[in-house]
Amino acid sequence: MLDRALSLDELLCFALYSANNAMGRLYRPILAQHGLTYPQYLVLVALWQRDGQKVNDLGAALTLESNTLTPLLKRMEAAELVQRRRNPEDERSVIVSLTAKGRGLQQEAAGISRCILAAAGDDVADLIDLRSKIQQLATRLNASD
């Protein structure tokens, strides 16, 4: 089979990389107003949904491991957004819980995703469909190891 010269525009991986970077650039200044980074915001979303998760639970939700999460959570603890304490029932694990401040940000942050959606496009149904297709892609990619 003849291989044409590869172009950036043809790479699905580059489309993802580029769109994700663009999303980050959009979120960064908004989140910075609340003293948050992008993955820190995602941790908060996960905890707003269910407070008091183990590091591994958060890792499963975000597809990250302790080598990424531990320092990130320590910074969030230093910023008084979360509390980290050993699980009394199994001292190997660490429970991450929201502080009042971390919980309080939920109200402040409520408008953020709306603001991002507005930048992403005007047809909400299209965006939901795209999100679903990207989720399926991520699932397939994660299954290939």
Least distance in Å: CB of 66 to DNA?
Answer: 4
Q: Are 51 and 81 a contacting pair, CB within 8 Å?
A: no
Given the rule CB under 7 A, which of 2-10, 48-56, 116-124, 130-138 is the region that contacts DNA? 48-56
Exactly one of 90, 110, 123, 125 binds a second copy (CB under 8 A); that residue is 110
Report the run of H or E that residue 93 belongs to, with start and end: strand 90-98
Closest to 137 measured CA to CA, from 15, 24, 8:
15
Residue 15 lies near a second copy (rule: CB under 8 A):
yes
Site mask, DNA, residues 2-21, x = CB under 7 A?
Answer: ---------------x---x
At 105, list the tokens: 């940000």
Distance, CA of 112 to CA of 36 (rounded, Å): 12
Within the chain, where are the H helices? 12-32, 38-49, 55-62, 66-78, 100-120, 124-143
Given 71, 108, 116, 123, the residue binding a second copy (CB under 8 A): 116
Closest separation in Å from C-beta 23 to a second copy? 5
Helix (H, G, I), strand (E, B) or coil at 90: strand
Where along the sequence are the contacts to a second copy (CB under 8 A)?
3, 5-23, 25-27, 38-39, 42, 45-46, 48-49, 61-64, 106, 109-110, 113, 116-117, 119-121, 127, 130-131, 133-135, 137-138, 140-142, 144-145
